[in-house]
Amino acid sequence: MTAFERYGKLRIEGQRLVGEDGRNVRLFGMSTHGLAWYPQYVCEETFRALRDSWNVNCIRLALYTHEYHGYCTDGDKQELKTLVCKGIDMAVSLGMYAIIDWHVLGEQTPLTYADEAVCFFEEISGKYPGCPNLLYEICNEPNRNAGWDEIKKYASRVIPVIRKNSPEAIVIVGTPNWSQRCDLALEDPLSFDGLLYSFHFYAASHLDKERALLERCLKAGLPVMVSECSLTEASGHGELDLESSESWFSLLDEYNISYMTWSLSASKESSSVFCSGCKKLSGWEDEDLKPTGLWFRNRFRSEKN
Ligand code: IDC
C-alpha cells in the first residue's frame, strides 16, 4: 500500500498533520538539490527506489529562484516548469507526496520575486487543481533583513492565488533568518487555515539554543514542518554532528514533525547523500552513500509508513 493510499488527502488539525481519517501523518523524505543543478534525479527510477528501498513518502522539489540558473534570473523557465511537473506527476503516480519549494535564498526577501511567484503558483495550482498529493512551500529561507512582516505580506498575496485553485492545499511558510524564527509566526500568525510554518536545521551548526526555540513553539501548539535539514554545518559542508542530530530527531519524534533532508545529489558537500561521482539513479549500495546518506536511509527505514 502506498502512503497516499493509506493517508489520502492531508489537512492540518490544530498543530497536527492528519490524513483523511484523522490519524497523525508524518511526511519524511528527500529534498532535491537545485533542480537546475541535478535534474537527473527527477525520474521514475529514482523516486521508485526512494519509495521502495528507502521507505520515503515525500519528495521536495527545490526550485531555486535566484542563483545558478534560477527561475527568476537566467534559468530556462519552461524547462524548469517541465521538471517540476514531471516530479509532481511521478509522485502522484507512485502514491507519494510532493512539496514544491519556491527556493528563496540569494535574493533574501520573497518580495523580490513576488510577481513571478504569483504567476508561477497560479499556473501550477491551475494545472493541479485540488491535487491531494501536493504541498506548496512558498519561500524556502528568507534571510538577513527580511522580516516576518515582509513574509506575511508576500504570503498574503501568494496563498489566495494557490487557494483559488486548491482551496484546501497545505501551504508551508518560511520564517525569518533562514527559516529559523518560527517563534515570530507563533507571536503573529497568518490568518489562513491549513498552514505549516517551516523550521530548518543543520545539526552541526544549530544546537541547544535553536532546539529550545523550536521546542518552545511546538509546546505552544505551532504547526511546524522541518522542510529542510541535514546533519552537517549550515554551509552544507563539514563534519556531521551525530549527537546534535540525535537530539534534533528526538525532539521531532516527540511531536511527530515531518522532515525533509538536504540533499538528493552527489555533490562534493557532506550534506549530499550520494558519494561524489556516484552516477547511479537507483540501486545504491552502502559504498555509494556518504555518511549523511547512510544515516538518513536508516532513519527513513525505521519510520512507520
Ligand atoms: C546550498 C547548496 C550548495 C549551493 C548553495 C547555493 O548545497 O551546493 O551552492 O546552496 O546557494 C540552506 C539552503 C540550501 C543550501 C543549504 C546548504 O536552503 O539552498 O544549499 N542550506 O548550504 N539552508 C541552510 C543550509
We report the CATH number of the domain holding residue 63 as 3.20.20.80
Look at the block and give the residue holding cell 508551508: 172
Q: pLDDT tens digit string along 67-107? A: 999 999 999 999 999 999 999 999 999 999 999 999 999 99
Calculate mean pLDDT across residues 273-286.
Answer: 97
228 is catalytic: yes
DSSP-assigned states of every residue in 191-257: S-SSEEEEEEEETTT--HHHHHHHHHHHHTT--EEEEEEESS-TTS-S---HHHHHHHHHHHHHTT-
| Ligand 1 atom with the shortest distance to the CA of 141 | 18
| C-alpha cell at position 93 | 503516480
- % of residues, the chain, pLDDT over 70: 100
Burial of 202 (0-12, 13-18, 19+ CB in 10 A): buried
Task: Please tell me the distance between residue 269's alpha carbon and the centre of ligand 1 in angstroms.
Answer: 10
pLDDT, the chain, mean: 98
| Domain count within the chain | 1
Calculate mean pLDDT across residues 227-251.
Answer: 98
- 19 domain-assigned: yes
Q: How far apart are CA 11 and CA 28, in angstroms?
A: 16
Parent domain of 249: 11-264
Entry pTM: 0.99
79 is catalytic: no
Q: Report the SS3 class of residue 80.
A: helix
Per-residue pLDDT band at 116 (split at 50, 70, 90): very high
- 245 domain-assigned: yes
- 22 domain-assigned: yes
- 162 domain-assigned: yes
Q: Are strands 11-13 and 16-18 parallel, antiparallel or unpaired?
A: antiparallel
pLDDT at 162 over 90: yes
Categorise residue 221: left if φ over 0, alpha if ψ from -120 to 50, beta otherwise: left
pLDDT at 115 over 90: yes
- 304 domain-assigned: no
**Catalytic member of 107, 137, 210, 228:** 228
- 171 domain-assigned: yes
Look at the block and give the residue holding cell 558537500: 269
- % of residues, the chain, pLDDT over 90: 99
- 273 domain-assigned: no
**Catalytic member of 141, 210, 233, 269:** 141
pLDDT for 26: 98
Q: How far apart are CA 88 and CA 238, in angstroms?
A: 32
pLDDT for 305: 80
- 288 domain-assigned: no
Task: Please tell me the distance between residue 164's alpha carbon and the centre of ligand 1 in angstroms.
Answer: 32
Task: Please tell me the distance between residue 250's alpha carbon and the centre of ligand 1 in angstroms.
Answer: 24
Residue ID of nearest Cα to ligand 1 atom 7: 236
Task: Please tell me the distance between residue 140's alpha carbon and the centre of ligand 1 in angstroms.
Answer: 11
- Which residues line ligand 1 at a C-beta cut-off of 6 Å? 67, 105, 140-141, 178, 200, 202, 228, 234-236, 262-263, 267, 269
